[in-house]
Chains A and B, each alone.
Chain A
Amino acid sequence: MSALVEVRNLSKVYERGKQRIEVLHHVQLDIEPGDFMALMGPSGSGKTTLLNLIGGLDSPTDGSITIGGKRIDSLAEGALARWRSANVGFVFQFYNLLPMLSARKNVELPLLLTRLSAAQRKRNATVALELVGLVDRAAHKPSELSGGQQQRVAIARAIVSDPTLLVCDEPTGDLDRQSAAEVLTLLQQLNRDHGKTIIMVTHDPKAAEFAKHTLHLDKGSLVEDSERAPA
């Protein structure tokens, strides 16, 4: 099977004034379709940078990223934005929901970029909210939801346009143990039942246990790849 994500010789260098910081150093990585991969490592190891590059939020200094057969490292801003909207769902540590919109309207946001009618957008958002078990809270604003519920709304927003790839940056970093377990179980279910390929950055070894395998990054290089037996 050919890899969904192919990362070749990927480097990322930030320049802060006269200082040159190499965050990623010639990273090679293949992620198979349907994988659920946890990315771990100490702070500053380059986890989020690698995630941002794979998600098309940032551009590499060197190397290439091919996702679903398409080189995304050389796409212009507009094309990259269109690619993201069609192919990637994002889940953040702090949910990043728009506070003035209801849960349903938040979930509908990616669909505004499609040609779906208002009724279709509403229907799809409802389906996504059903999938995360929050259809009864569709009219609630984020401030009226718990942290776990907000993260589930964020997951519904990430999957509503049916992307192939979900990138999750510390999705349980702001949640209590029980809510974290619910969110991770939901991600597992999306991976197992809906075939979503998931890359998840986490500090938490217990969160990483929900993934199929774990990659470790240190000082900008991959140092270890541990595979877990199927549950």
Chain B
Amino acid sequence: MKYLQLVWSAMFRRKTRTIFTLLSVLAAFLLFGLLDSVRSAFANAAGSVAGVDRLVTVSKISFTLSLPKSLLPRIQALPGVATVTYANWFGGIYQDPKNFFANEAVADNFFDVFPEWQLSAAERTRFHETRTGAVVGASLAKKFNWKLGDKIPLQATIFPQKSGANDWTFDLVGIFRVSNPKQQSQESVLFFNWDYFDEARAFGNGNVGWYLTRVADRNQAQQVAQAIDALSTNSDHETKTQTEQAFNAEFVSQYGDIGLIVGAIMGAVFFTLILLTGNTMAQAVRERIPELAVLKTIGFSNQSVLGLVLAESVLLIVLGGAIGLLLAGVVVDAVRAAVGEAVPMARVGASIWLRGLGLMVLIGLIVGALPARRGMRLRIVDALAGR
């Protein structure tokens, strides 16, 4: 700690240059924070441990194709199946397309399959008893300031009503919460009653979007999935059943390899940052050669000078990077508050900070290595003589 002031004052010897360098580091780590937040959101969606005992059954051809509702009793009758439910993507818009959130028609027993989504017994009863009833996650209700009893109009983009109208209006009868804070993004969904949907829609009646099966024993999930798919073999509606976890991973992979994309962008950004700050550090040390020679003269060893220069470059990157990550946290929170799930972004939490700090220290060491070596190896008499 006693060297901190020496390192700090050396860093700000040329204030303007240091501030511009800090700004470039800040921008790089702001970008890192935002992109890693997106990458983490996708990784969390794909790698969630929740759902290993749930199976998702969709059409083998495309998950956008429907499946016959007649499969329901046949799946339910299979050994190892605890509960089966079904749902359909609705894709309605609330007031403006930028207000995107998921909305689905779900069967009566939908919440039996998702015990982590907590809905009070009273609200659940109201949901069952209200034909136009809808329940939403707490985050979504908070975002639009919805209260129980509110009417929520959605504009259909896929399913018009039999009358030809695209306006669907739902009565908010329940607000559910997700027990795991890490899965709070799942609170940004609206569910409404299947019966209303199936009776009122203009087409597709009697079909479901997908089945969700809760297995009695998670170790038997694979066998149950194979048994479900065997029900439709050689039919015109062959199915593909996989664990919810595998389904999420496959769904996310449609967007491309997010990790690779983020890695490529950040690689380019950090490469540029290393060149830029490396040049700045080299220039800063070159200007301070006589001062480093003085330090050596009064007794600082080669290793001490090496350490001082490395500490300066690491401090420079950590300072700029930490401010960048703090800003990224603010931006991510603001984006999440403004657009919800339309842009998948994870909070800038401990794991992103740990990765960020590791990168900051690594980049600081890389950037400082050559100037520090130069400082360490300088000959006092040559440096003092200006050679």
Contacts and interface: CB of A to CB of B under 8 A. Distances in A.
Nearest to B11: A100
Interface string A52-95: 10010110000000000000000001100110111000101000
Contact of A90 (B3, B6, B10, B298): B298
Contact of A77 (B13, B294, B298, B302): B302
Nearest to A94: B290
A101 interface: yes
Given A58-B380, A96-B290, A118-B2, A81 B9 contact: no
Nearest to B2: A112
B371 to A, nearest CB: 17
B300 A100 contact: no
Contact of B296 (A81, A98, A157): A81
Nearest to B9: A100
B6 A112 contact: yes
B381 A52 contact: yes
Contacts of B2: 112, 118, 121
A85 B379 CA distance: 17
A155 to B, nearest CB: 13
Contacts of A112: 2-3, 6
Interface in B372-387: 379-381, 384
B295 interface: yes
Contacts, number: 71
Nearest to A55: B297
Contact of B299 (A84, A99, A100, A105): A84
Contacts of A13: none
Interface residues of B, number: 26
B302 A101 contact: no
A3 interface: no
Contacts of A148: none
Nearest to B303: A78
B16 interface: no
Range of interface residues on A (Cβ < 8 Å): 20 to 34
Contacts of B297: 55, 57, 84, 90
B5 interface: yes
A84 B381 CA distance: 14
Nearest to A101: B9
A146 to B, nearest CB: 20
A138 interface: no
A109 interface: yes
Contacts of B384: 57, 92, 96
A37 B304 CA distance: 33
Given A85-B298, A96-B294, A110-B298, A101 B6 contact: yes
A29 interface: no
B271 interface: no
B109 interface: no
A29 B95 CA distance: 96
B12 interface: yes
A110 B294 CA distance: 10
Given A101-B6, A118-B2, A78 B299 contact: no
B15 to A, nearest CB: 10
8 contacts: A52-B380, A52-B381, A57-B297, A77-B301, A96-B384, A101-B9, A113-B299, A118-B2
Interface of B: 2-3, 5-6, 9-10, 12-13, 290-291, 293-304, 379-381, 384
Interface of A: 49, 52, 55, 57-58, 77-78, 81-82, 84-86, 90, 92, 96, 98-101, 105, 109-110, 112-113, 118, 121, 157
